[in-house]
């Protein structure tokens, strides 16, 4: 708590203000006492924002959400005065640090403490979603750790399931980028933000709690967003029992993520993790973590490295967190999901309109990626039959096309469907072949004249890429690349220049 400043109020309604707890984008949070001497937290909106309809709407939404959410999930709603100048919200004072403070001061959580956090936040989300509310800004700052169970706070940009207004300007992206689901970056007004976006944020929060780094961390907000849209999460350093649920939560498509209730069932061993070798039962670890909450700091979860170690962890080289020999069924959140349903009638759509994406990312993908030779992993599995290893593989791209122009449409064997990118640099189409193979040839079936400069690349781990073909004068059509028996699990067509202001368009990508 900080001492009050000269401009701070000393009373708000029937509450005596005694100190500052923090300051955010919408207002200042104060510690106060009611007439009985009980401590409460009061969020007072910034005076210069009180007359702004945008922020006023968001604050009223926060008050309404706080009324709806069960108190075991969050700081309990006590009072509000929306007619005060400026308005304020009164909630229970939660006497505990935030997860961000815990990890910053004492390092990543381990063992039972990490499992109990995962269960506690999943439990809170189950209650929040059960009340018909989507939080939309779940992050370590908004997870408080009092003795007992975690509490999720700050419903400033939350909304009910049925809401149509986002309480955000059309040109403003509201949220915290490292914890935002891919669909949150869409500018298409038809793109719905559902409770699945909170589940994605849960995966990012728990990964951060266990490693000290978010799973898609880049060197800027735009590169982080690009990784969220296109790259598999980095899950190295997390216990095996949590990797499965977190990977499922971080699926690129919202419909591929479990609900908060299903997450909770997986975490306490009541439901198997799809694709896992076994059903890891972590209930014993959870109970051990809860019982251990009274240690060292009066009942709070604490841990994190010093500032120097923290800086190193925040800039570490990306790793895939995926075993090279792991089958596709267990890589739930890697290079995106199965093919989306296609509209047969759309197959005759003119090519001039195919470059306009159904969903366009608001931020650019990373402008460069390392191109080092993959680590030696042996020759890879042979493919003596010469079958197309790309057929129906997991596919992803740096644009969020859908329907017959999605990434998956370029590996479905249907010549009438294709992946088409938006007209922005760079763009790529990537696939996961499920294991390391000895690659002989890669065939790219381009739509004519829609590819000028591109590279065909191979990787064993999904993070370090080696080019097997490069051109700055591509003309479209069918291009066959000699892969020179290089080992690889991931194959990518990485494009840097288009012609005629159209995006890239690939009918089919074959790997043999």
Q: Which residues contact 439 (CB under 8 A, 6 or more apart)?
A: 380, 458, 483, 485, 486, 487, 488, 491, 511, 512
Range of the domain at 478: 335-511
Written in H, E and C, the secondary structure of 416-478 is CCCEECCCCCCEEEEEEEEEEEEEEEEEEEECCCCCCEEEEEEECCCCCCEEEEEECCCCCCE
> Among candidates 423, 393, 419, 422, which has minimal Cα distance to 406?
419
pTM of the model: 0.53
At which of 268, 294, 321 does a domain end? 321
- Contact present, 251 and 279 (Cβ < 8 Å): no
Plot region of 148 (φ>0 → left; ψ -120 to 50 → alpha; else → beta): left
Q: Based on the fold, state whether residues 237 and 386 are members of the same structural domain.
A: no
CA distance 114 to 112: 5
Which uninterrupted H or E stretch holds 102? Answer: helix 99-106
pLDDT confidence of residue 328: 28
Q: Based on the fold, state whether residues 314 and 342 are members of the same structural domain.
A: no
Q: Based on the fold, state whether residues 362 and 456 are members of the same structural domain.
A: yes
pLDDT in tens, the chain (512 residues): 789 999 899 999 999 999 998 886 678 899 999 999 999 999 898 887 777 777 777 678 778 877 878 888 888 889 999 889 889 989 999 999 999 999 999 899 999 999 999 999 999 999 998 888 888 889 999 999 998 889 998 875 555 554 433 434 433 445 789 999 999 888 777 788 899 999 999 999 999 999 999 999 988 888 898 999 999 999 999 999 999 999 999 999 999 999 999 999 999 887 778 755 433 333 333 333 333 333 322 333 332 222 223 323 332 222 222 222 222 222 222 222 222 222 322 222 323 222 222 222 333 333 333 333 334 445 688 888 888 999 888 888 876 566 677 888 888 888 778 887 765 556 788 999 988 999 999 999 987 655 678 889 999 988 888 889 988 777 778 899 999 889 999 999 988 765 555 567 888 999 99
Q: How many CA atoms lie within 13 A of 37 on its CB side?
A: 0
Q: Based on the fold, state whether residues 137 and 235 are members of the same structural domain.
A: yes
CATH of residue 140's domain is 1.10.510.10
Q: Based on the fold, state whether residues 79 and 226 are members of the same structural domain.
A: no
| Residues paired with 421 in a beta bridge | none
CATH of residue 402's domain is 2.60.120.260
Q: How many CA atoms lie within 13 A of 278 on its CB side?
A: 5
CA distance 311 to 213: 10
273 belongs to a structural domain? yes
Which uninterrupted H or E stretch holds 133? Answer: strand 133-134
CATH of residue 55's domain is 3.30.200.20
Q: Based on the fold, state whether residues 48 and 160 are members of the same structural domain.
A: no
> Among candidates 377, 462, 450, 465, which has minimal Cα distance to 410?
450
Q: Work out the number of other CB atoms within 10 angstroms of the CB of residue 384.
A: 5
35 belongs to a structural domain? yes
Q: Based on the fold, state whether residues 62 and 148 are members of the same structural domain.
A: no
Q: Based on the fold, state whether residues 230 and 374 are members of the same structural domain.
A: no
> Catalytic annotation on 137?
yes
The domain total for the chain is 3
At which of 268, 296, 321 does a domain end? 321
Q: Based on the fold, state whether residues 188 and 230 are members of the same structural domain.
A: yes
Q: Based on the fold, state whether residues 49 and 137 are members of the same structural domain.
A: no
pLDDT confidence of residue 275: 59
Catalytic residue among 8, 48, 79, 137: 137
């Amino acid at each position: 708590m900080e001492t009050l400043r000269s401009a701070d109020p000393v009373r708000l309604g029937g509450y005596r203000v005694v100190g500052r707890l923090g300051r955010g984008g919408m207002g200042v949070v104060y510690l106060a006492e009611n007439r009985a001497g009980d401590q409460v937290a009061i969020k007072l909106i910034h005076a210069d924002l009180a007359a702004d309809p945008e922020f006023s709407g968001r604050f009223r939404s926060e008050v309404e959400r706080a009324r709806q959410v069960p108190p075991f999930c969050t700081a309990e709603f006590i009072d509000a005065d929306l007619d005060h100048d400026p308005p304020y919200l009164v909630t229970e004072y939660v006497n505990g640090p935030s997860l961000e403070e815990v990890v910053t001061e004492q390092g990543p959580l381990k063992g039972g403490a990490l499992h109990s956090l995962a269960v506690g936040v999943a439990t809170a989300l189950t209650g929040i979603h059960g009340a018909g509310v989507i939080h939309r800004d779940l992050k370590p700052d908004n997870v408080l750790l009092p003795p007992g169970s975690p509490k999720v706070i700050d419903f400033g940009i939350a909304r009910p399931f049925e809401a149509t207004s986002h309480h955000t300007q059309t040109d403003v992206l509201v949220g915290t980028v490292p914890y935002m689901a891919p669909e949150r970056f869409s500018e298409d007004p038809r793109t719905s933000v559902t409770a699945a976006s909170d589940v994605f944020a849960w995966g990012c929060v728990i990964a951060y709690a266990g490693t000290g780094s978010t799973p898609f961390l880049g060197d800027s907000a735009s590169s982080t967003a690009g990784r969220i849209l296109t790259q598999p999460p980095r899950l190295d350093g997390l216990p095996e029992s949590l990797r499965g649920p977190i990977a499922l939560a971080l699926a690129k498509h919202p419909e591929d993520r479990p609900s908060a209730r299903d997450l909770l069932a997986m975490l306490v061993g009541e439901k198997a993790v799809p694709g896992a070798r076994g059903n890891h039962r972590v209930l014993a670890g959870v109970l051990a973590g809860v019982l251990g909450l009274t240690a060292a700091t009066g009942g709070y979860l604490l841990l994190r490295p010093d500032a120097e170690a923290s800086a190193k962890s925040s800039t570490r080289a990306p790793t895939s967190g995926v075993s090279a020999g792991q089958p596709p069924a267990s890589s739930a959140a890697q290079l995106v999901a199965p093919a989306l349903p296609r509209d047969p009638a759309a197959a005759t759509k003119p090519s001039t309109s195919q470059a306009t994406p159904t969903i366009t990312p608001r931020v650019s993908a990373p402008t460069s990626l390392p191109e080092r030779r993959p680590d030696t992993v042996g020759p890879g599995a042979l493919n003596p039959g010469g079958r197309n290893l790309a057929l129906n593989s997991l596919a992803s791209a740096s644009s969020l096309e859908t329907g017959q122009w999605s990434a998956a449409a370029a590996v479905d064997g249907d010549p009438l469907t294709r992946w088409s990118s938006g007209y922005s640099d760079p763009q790529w189409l990537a696939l996961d072949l499920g294991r390391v193979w000895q690659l002989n040839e890669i065939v790219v079936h381009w739509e004519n004249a829609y590819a000028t400069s591109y590279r065909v690349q191979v990787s064993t781990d999904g993070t370090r890429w080696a080019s097997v073909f490069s051109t700055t004068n591509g003309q479209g059509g069918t291009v066959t690349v000699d892969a020179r028996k290089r080992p690889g699990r991931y194959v990518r067509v990485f494009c840097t220049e288009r012609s005629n202001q159209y995006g890239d368009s690939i009918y089919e990508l074959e790997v043999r």
